[in-house]
């Protein structure tokens, strides 16, 4: 089976003629541009395609921000605390109920904190951080609510979904603090997300899927059974896609620290076959339950991944 990454395909979303190229940069070069907020904003603003209308302003749901008072505004929505501090009139603005509630479930196990080429390739966790930041920015830009759940063998970070602009800082601060540790229990994390989502939404799983497949798939089935949409981003380092052509190699499991020394040339055909079978199994099982599955390597420009998200989002209305 051909297991070429989706990175080799054009993104599902169609780029506009004036699309900026920042979302096509090598992720390692992109990471060097600045902090998470700058990178996420640069990537998304260079890939603003197919976005539905901005949220209408109402007065019914969640506080969003203040704006200056203009004659005719309803005085019931005056922010008197701001007036007391600034001696100026401000009106509270609110966002109506968001179109979608989403959770970003990010794997932070030790295996994610690895790269085959330090300095040239981001670790899987560094790539996941950039991807999650860009998705969070895009979700909020679309008027959706987004939360975060980071996990290894336990839940490390929880951020409840919200849809205000100020929420981005909370999400990015949590993402910046993630580090790789422990083994992986994706199934437990996914089930917790399912129990926390009180109404139908979208769950984006970002992981290298070096997990116990049956337990993880049962948890994903549980999500689908409860009516949630599921998008799986399977991350791999290019060095995990294939073995060196010749020479001795040391295979190291960062989660249990086991090592195996062997001749990589003799193992290449069997290794390729094992990778192909694993990818085929994940793709088939996700398709069977109605979940979306995409494989990407950590040298994939983020614009390609956002294209797959936008395709999924467009089908949700």
Q: Which of the pair, 34 or 102, is modelled with greater confidence?
A: 102
229 band by pLDDT with thresholds 50, 70 and 90:
very high
In the chain the first and final C-alpha atoms are separated, in Å, by 34
Q: What is the mean pLDDT of residues 154-165?
A: 93
62 band by pLDDT with thresholds 50, 70 and 90:
very low
Mean pLDDT of all residues belonging to the chain = 81
46 band by pLDDT with thresholds 50, 70 and 90:
confident
For 57, the enclosing helix (H) or strand (E) is strand 57-58
The string of pLDDT tens digits covering residues 259-297 is 656 666 667 788 889 999 999 999 999 999 999 999 999
Predicted TM-score (pTM) of the model is 0.76
- Secondary structure of residue 263 in the 3-state scheme: strand
Residue located via tokens 């073995």: 243
| Cα 130 → chain centroid | 8
| 151 touches 128 (CB < 8 A) | no
CA torsion angle 121 173 62 227 (round to 10): 50
For 154, the enclosing helix (H) or strand (E) is none
- Secondary structure of residue 7 in the 3-state scheme: helix
* d(C-alpha 286, C-alpha 255), whole Å: 25
Residue located via tokens 């794997």: 107
Does the structure show a pLDDT above 90 at 70?
Answer: no
Which residues are CB-neighbours of 235 under 8 A, at least 6 positions away?
112, 124, 127, 128, 206, 207, 208, 296, 297, 298
In the chain, what are the domains?
Answer: 6-53+98-316 (3.40.50.410), 57-95 (no CATH)
């Amino acid at each position: 089976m051909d297991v070429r990454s989706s990175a080799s395909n054009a993104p599902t979303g169609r780029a506009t003629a004036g699309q900026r190229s920042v979302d096509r940069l090598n992720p390692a070069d992109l990471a060097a541009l600045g902090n998470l907020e700058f990178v996420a904003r640069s990537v998304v603003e260079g890939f603003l395609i197919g976005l539905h209308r901005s949220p209408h302003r109402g007065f019914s749901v969640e506080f969003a921000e203040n704006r200056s008072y203009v004659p005719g505004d309803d005085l019931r929505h005056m922010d008197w605390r701001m007036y007391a501090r600034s001696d100026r009139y401000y009106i509270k603005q609110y966002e109506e109920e968001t179109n979608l509630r989403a959770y970003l479930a990010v794997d932070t196990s030790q295996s994610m904190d690895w790269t085959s080429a330090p300095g040239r390739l981001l670790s899987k966790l560094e790539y996941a951080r950039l991807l999650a930041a860009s998705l969070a920015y895009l979700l909020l830009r679309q008027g959706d609510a987004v939360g975060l759940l980071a996990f290894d063998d336990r839940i490390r970070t929880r951020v409840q979904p919200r849809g205000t602009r100020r929420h981005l800082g909370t999400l990015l601060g949590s993402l910046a603090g993630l580090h790789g540790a422990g083994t992986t229990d994706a199934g437990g994390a996914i089930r917790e997300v399912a129990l926390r989502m009180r109404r139908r939404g979208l769950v984006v799983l970002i992981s290298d899927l070096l997990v116990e497949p049956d337990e993880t798939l049962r948890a994903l089935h549980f999500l689908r059974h409860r009516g949630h949409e599921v998008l799986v981003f399977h991350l791999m380092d290019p060095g995990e896609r294939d073995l060196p052509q010749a020479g001795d190699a040391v295979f190291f499991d960062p989660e249990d620290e086991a090592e195996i020394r062997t001749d990589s040339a003799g193992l290449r055909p069997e290794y390729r076959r094992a990778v192909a079978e694993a990818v085929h199994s994940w793709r088939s099982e996700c398709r069977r339950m109605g979940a979306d599955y995409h494989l990407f390597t950590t040298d994939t420009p983020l614009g390609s991944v956002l294209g797959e998200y936008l395709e999924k989002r467009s089908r949700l209305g």
